[in-house]
Chain A
Amino acid sequence: MLNHVIEEIKKSELTGRGGAGFPTGLKWELVKKEKADKKYIICNGSEGERGVFKDEYILKNYLDDVLDGIRIALETFKNSQAYIYLNKKYYKDLKPEINKKASYIKVFKKPEGYIAGEETTILNVIEKGEKEPRKKPPYPTQKGLFRKPTLVNNVETFYYISKIVKGKYKKTRFYCISGEVENKGVFELSINKRIETILKETKNYPKFDFFVQSGGGVCGEILLKNELRKKVSGIGSIIVYKKDIDPFDLMEEWAKFFVEGNCDKCVPCREGIYRLYEMIKQREINVPAFNDILNVMEKSSFCPLGSVAVVPFRGLYEKILK
């Protein structure tokens, strides 16, 4: 019989808050079902891209809840070991406190680079210091860290696990609002709110013409003013831009981020992003090449990074630049 905790998580309909939105209860069930002498739990706190800073907020304000979530996982999975995987800054700020409060959890420092936060890459980093994603299947839930079933959940997810078990989960999430706004910050609000409402309720709705990037930080989708009846997906970020911003400056920043942050393993992502970066730097988009590159990045990259990186470029080009 499955653990009642897992039943509760399933009932809560909690989805992963690391960006991919996988049903958390199902993930726990998959790890639980695997037969293995050892299992691993990883709390992913590697955030570090533009417009995403909610894990930091949670860790600094609600560390005890996050640790409680991890403790629940440790109790749920027999013979398990937990890691907290933190970016350089959070690691420095929080390691002593975590060690004091939960010495049984290993605190691991994430190396530089965006890709090092991707879940299968984390496994390679912890095992052998290699910043490269792994092929799936097998999924981490089947063969994860040291080939053992592994649960990888985001900081926020663990926070809400604790809430669920305490019966205090009210279907909220943490939104990061940044960019050209008056009231930048992290806000815990209902998961069902529309972007428009969120901006208004947090006193962030701009008075000027604008567009937003919503959902996945740098990988978020571009939405115009009249498209804000959508909800926020992914990692929960809303970045507001002035409509008359130089789109090339913005794309150059993204492209640089991806060129530096990807792993250089597969052709479409390694070469494709580089070619986008070159085109953007020269302020000249060769449209057929631009589209062909986005097409192969989206459809044929090794890991999700290549395909999600496409989203902002395509959106900005279609909606603003064209």
Chain B
Amino acid sequence: MKIKINKKEYKAKPGQTVLEIAKQKGIKIPSLCYHSDIEPSMSCRLCLVKVKGKKGLFTACSLLAEDGMEITTKDKEIEQARKTNLELLFSQHKEECFDCVYKYNCYLLKLAKEYDVEITRFKDRKTDYPVHRFGPALIFDSSKCIDCRNCVDICQQQGVGFLKVEKGKKEFLNVVPDKNKECIYCGQCLVHCPVGAFEGVGEFEEIEKPFKDKNKTVVFQIAPSIRSSIGEEFGMNPGEVVTGKIATAVRKIGADKIFDVSVGADITTVEEAREFVQRKKDFPMFTSCCPAWVRFVEVYYPEFTKNLTTVRSPHIILGGLIKTYWAKKQGLDPKDIVVVSIMPCISKKYEITRKELFLKNNIKPVDFVLTTRELAFLLKEKKIDLKKLKEEELDDPLGLPSGAGVIYGASGGVMESALRTAHKEITGKDLGNIETKEVRGLDGIKEAKVKVGKRTIKIAVTSGTGNAKNILEKLKEKPNLYDYVEVMACPGGCIGGGGQPMPTDKKTRKKRAQGLYSSDKKKKVRLAHENPIVKELYEEFLGNKENIHKICHTKFIQKQ
């Protein structure tokens, strides 16, 4: 099948839209509300094109290619319509841009320039629209909303349905939170909002807080997935692994130490593999390192709370180790240490407020969570261009993970890591082929049967709570369907998290995941239990049950 766009011929596949083809071929068609994760809502009316032989303008996002179709993407009439629609969009969206998540890459402003838009042509009709706050995680400024309803669609797709459309003042339908539901803080609304109406709590007003007290030792720990995504904020390609550059950058802004959450992940792996091997009931066992998933279970499927592994999430474990094991080694009072986690995630902001994770004397394992975007913003504000930096090493010893710890950032990573270690726990031997390809990739639900010694383990890996919901519903019918299930709330896992650079879409998620897998491949140590620092920790500190329990395990809220 062939179509012509602006008189040039292109190959097309049945089912492809004109916008998809144009994007592939680098032909510019403005599209604001389009997102590859959602059915086109066709609401912004910017991707207008003409079809030869047909009257009127069509939206490229919904226009299916037909053999012989001839498309015009640019002429006076099209541009005039786009310009007016942009002006009408701005009539809902006149904002102070300084702390917007799109401050450095606002697509609306870019289009405004390109189409010579008079931004103030119509008065802002949303000045008195409310700001909603969802727990300690998210803020929704409805005065910025342009009513594309991507957030409502993705919230629905996530199986939550917390955001909905409701009739408000002046006969308009507005996006509002449903008072009868609860947000799980996954932040997918945020990464699917084209105009920055959502932001994380503290984004970006509170990013300098960790450095306020000059007398304290500031320790940064970086999540596995941010190393293959943060480069995008500085014009690099998705998937480029920049661990060494991050180390240099955070030292420049005043961090005293930089550790790797992947080391925490190695501990999570070992503990979780052990729990799985020793567990006698409540199968399947669910992973619990994703706080939005944990909240989803606690709020909407409390009967499955007992299936969650009690192992803490990697950054909480590492934070705990920093403030106990490492503090003692350094001769520091844990009260004088500030732990800052750089996470791809919005719900981690909520997780660190959970009291059951606090250490002795109410010390928090992690003091601050900054998202990937927030760290990038902080660097830009300090005029640090990550792309140009040299690479430095992370700090010894909590900055040296195994490859297993790094792949935690992609959906399937936890399962693959745990299987590598569980095999050793069960059989006493390491796996011949340590790569479990069945659990990799961006499919919503991945299933496999894995032979470990004499045992066949039925596993499932899923990302997106909407997919997880399907699994939970199936388990209600068939409780023995699986033995072990990994769930990440965000599509594709943490690489698609609510704290990641935008756009976060199918293409970027794929590349970010590839980055992590290539990083694993390059590591000498690829098994969590083989990581020397992990061995050392178990010998020196995690040998006793009390420490293991205090640092590595938690409990969950069982709602009535």
Interface residues of A, Cβ cutoff 8 Å to B:
135, 137, 259-260, 263-268, 270-272, 274-275, 289, 292-293, 295-296, 299-302
Contact = CB atoms under 8 A, between A and B. Distances in A.
B98 interface: no
Contacts of A301: 45
A296 B81 contact: yes
29 contacts: A135-B40, A135-B62, A259-B171, A260-B171, A263-B173, A264-B172, A264-B173, A265-B43, A266-B43, A267-B85, A267-B88, A267-B89, A267-B146, A267-B147, A268-B84, A268-B85, A270-B147, A271-B91, A271-B92, A271-B122, A272-B88, A289-B122, A292-B80, A295-B81, A296-B45, A296-B88, A299-B56, A300-B81, A300-B85
B249 interface: no
A234 to B, nearest CB: 18
Interface string B80-109: 110011011101100000000000000000
Contacts of A267: 43-45, 85, 88-89, 146-147
A263 B172 CA distance: 9
Contacts of B57: 299-300
B43 A271 contact: no
Given A264-B172, A289-B121, A292-B84, A275 B42 contact: no
A137 B59 CA distance: 12
Interface in B147-174: 147, 170-173
A146 to B, nearest CB: 18
A299 B44 CA distance: 13
Nearest to A261: B171
Given A266-B42, A267-B147, 7 more contacts: A137-B64, A264-B147, A264-B172, A268-B84, A295-B81, A301-B45, A302-B45
Contacts of A270: 147, 172
Contacts of B534: none
A266 B45 contact: yes
B91 A300 contact: no
A296 B85 contact: yes
Q: Which of A263, A274, A295, A301 lies at the interface centre, i.e. has the most chain B CB atoms within 10 A of its CB?
A: A274
Contacts of B147: 264, 267, 270
Nearest to B167: A264
B125 interface: yes
Contact of A268 (B45, B77, B173): B45
B407 interface: no
Q: Which of B92, B125, B173 lies at the interface centre, i.e. has the most chain A CB atoms within 10 A of its CB?
A: B173
Contact of B125 (A274, A296, A300): A274
B61 to A, nearest CB: 10
Nearest to A302: B42
Contacts of A293: 84, 88
Given A292-B84, A300-B81, A271 B42 contact: no
The 4 A-B pairs at the shortest CB distance, nearest first, are namely A271-B88, A264-B173, A292-B84, A300-B45
A137 B146 CA distance: 26
B48 interface: yes
Contacts of B44: 266-267
Contacts of A295: 80-81, 84
Contacts of A275: 88, 91, 122
Contacts of A299: 48, 56-57, 77, 81
B263 to A, nearest CB: 49
A136 to B, nearest CB: 10
A260 B62 CA distance: 27
B63 to A, nearest CB: 10
Interface string B45-58: 10010000000110
A265 B87 CA distance: 17
A95 to B, nearest CB: 26
A277 to B, nearest CB: 9
Contacts of B122: 271, 275, 289
Contacts of B42: 135, 266, 302
A271 B43 CA distance: 11
Nearest to B87: A292
B200 to A, nearest CB: 27
Nearest to B173: A264
Contact of B43 (A259, A289, A296, A302): A302
Nearest to A279: B122
Contacts of B43: 265-267, 302
A271 B88 CA distance: 6
B143 to A, nearest CB: 15
Nearest to A259: B171
Nearest to B46: A267
B88 A268 contact: yes
A121 to B, nearest CB: 14
A295 to B, nearest CB: 7
Contacts of A302: 42-43, 45
A271 B146 CA distance: 10
Contacts of B48: 299-300
A295 B91 CA distance: 17
Contacts of B64: 137
Nearest to B80: A295
Nearest to A271: B88
Contacts of A296: 45, 81, 84-85, 88
B328 to A, nearest CB: 60
Contacts of A264: 147, 172-173
A259 B170 CA distance: 9
A270 to B, nearest CB: 7
A27 to B, nearest CB: 20
Contacts of A271: 88-89, 91-92, 122, 125
A118 to B, nearest CB: 15
Interface in B388-416: none
A88 B84 CA distance: 37
A211 to B, nearest CB: 28
A135 B64 CA distance: 12
B72 to A, nearest CB: 14
A274 B45 CA distance: 17
Interface string B170-183: 11110000000000
Nearest to A307: B56
Nearest to B149: A265
A137 B172 CA distance: 27
Nearest to B146: A267
A194 B80 CA distance: 38
A301 B527 CA distance: 57
A111 to B, nearest CB: 12
A296 B77 CA distance: 10
A227 to B, nearest CB: 24
Nearest to A130: B165
A119 B3 CA distance: 31
Nearest to A303: B42
A3 B44 CA distance: 43
A214 B513 CA distance: 61
Nearest to A291: B84
A208 to B, nearest CB: 35
A259 to B, nearest CB: 5
Contacts of B77: 299
Interface in B208-226: none
A2 to B, nearest CB: 26
A304 to B, nearest CB: 11
Nearest to A300: B45
A138 B268 CA distance: 50
A292 B82 CA distance: 11
B239 to A, nearest CB: 34
Nearest to A289: B121
Q: Which of A263, A267, A274, A296 lies at the interface centre, i.e. has the most chain B CB atoms within 10 A of its CB?
A: A267
A155 to B, nearest CB: 28
Nearest to A131: B173
B91 to A, nearest CB: 6
Nearest to B122: A275
A232 B80 CA distance: 33
A23 to B, nearest CB: 18
